[in-house]
Amino acid sequence: MKKRLYLSLVTAAAMSVSGLVGQAYADITIGVTVSSTGNGAALGIPLKNSVELWPTEVGGEKLNVILLDDAGDPSIATTNARRFANDDKVDIMIGSALTPASIAVAGVAAETEIPHFTASPVPPNVYQGKWTFVLPQDAGLIADTLFAKMQADGVKTFGYIGFSDSYGDLWVNQFKAIGAKYGLEMVAEERYARPDTSVSGQALKLIASRPDAIFVGASGTGAALPQATLRERGFTGPIYQTHGAATFDFIRIAGDAANNTVFASGPVMVPEHLADGADTKAEGLEYVTAYEAKFGEGTRTQFGAHIHDAMAILKKAIPLALEKAKPGTQEFRVALRDAIETGGPFPASQGVFEYSADDHLGLDERAVVLLTVEDGKFKLID
């Protein structure tokens, strides 16, 4: 029996976006936890904003979307996920913006057997389970692209600086796994915490190691701190940044220090410059056009695009699951997971997803482009 949903503020840190359509008959329930405050806000706010662009129904069924803030804290993310599972009886979870918080949500999703999309990279032991699907490009895919570019640029030695958490660990692990294939040697490794306001000591140590280049393993506006500091301290060599740094806020904060940096990025940052017929162009333009019409020119991020891509997948997967079970049941959750694994390919703004029971990453080289910065703007590197 359909149940009428009345609008209410859940808590100061929670918001139901079912209010976008007023009173609604909610049939499919989605729980979204993102870091809309705290150190991950630069990543989480675009995710939160992008939820507002979702449709109000899929497959003829109403959507009830519960959006909570976890402030990037794994303990809060765990609490949110348990609320989704135990109180809200969600059909799917999405979140979070930061890797540690996403790992926490994935743990609850696996325990309660609820399909989960993570909007940040997670380690293999997380995505090799049955219930978590990764939306961002895999660290291995990004690392292959960046390491190949470094090799082509003549880089043989590099210094590494990254976050002192699981996100920073991802890139060191990638170097250990595949760096030798590209003839690369890491001659120095430095770390810093996301809230840090200075990395002068780390920058001086990196420069003293005399590397050919610097590789930065950070995301959001926090990735601009080592970038600016290295240039201020006189490092003139090439700097390579991951897709977590490819934002207009990075350019704004880093200023002239951003010029000539090489970024691996999802194609959604430059859909206007993609070739006609590119598999990601249509979805990318749809997302960018809608997002910037609502939130302003130059506000696009690939973080927010993960929310768009989750819905692009669900638009195809939910009707398949509805053929087998009713929302709100464990049978529907299983059917939805199976539909995500078998219903592809799913063209989206950041790539073409084609998951399977053995592959919850689902992306190939179409999900990565190389960018640089010239005159305060991203430029596609051929």
- pLDDT, averaged per 10 consecutive residues of the chain (382 residues), comes to 35 42 60 93 93 96 97 97 98 94 97 97 91 93 95 98 91 94 97 95 98 95 95 97 91 93 95 94 97 95 94 98 96 98 97 97 96 92 85
| Dist CA 31 CA 316 (whole Å) | 19
pLDDT of residue 97: 92
Sign of the C-alpha dihedral, residues 348, 121, 57, 334? positive
pLDDT of residue 15: 44
pLDDT of residue 8: 33
SS3 242: coil
SS3 131: coil
pLDDT of residue 376: 86
Residue pair 278/267 in contact by the 8 Å Cβ criterion: yes
Instruction: Show the tokens assigned to 357.
Output: 């029971």
| Dist CA 318 CA 252 (whole Å) | 39
Instruction: Tell me if the pTM is above 0.85.
Output: no
Which amino acid is located at 55 in the chain? P
DSSP state of 353: E
Name all domains of the chain by residue range, CATH numbers in brackets. 4-137+285-365 (3.40.50.2300), 139-265 (3.40.50.2300)
Q: Is 288 exposed, middle or buried (0-12, 13-18, 19+ CB in 10 A)?
A: buried
pLDDT of residue 375: 86
pLDDT of residue 1: 38
pLDDT of residue 221: 85
| Dist CA 314 CA 306 (whole Å) | 12
Residue 310 CB contacts under 8 Å (≥ 6 apart), including other chains = 94, 117, 119, 135
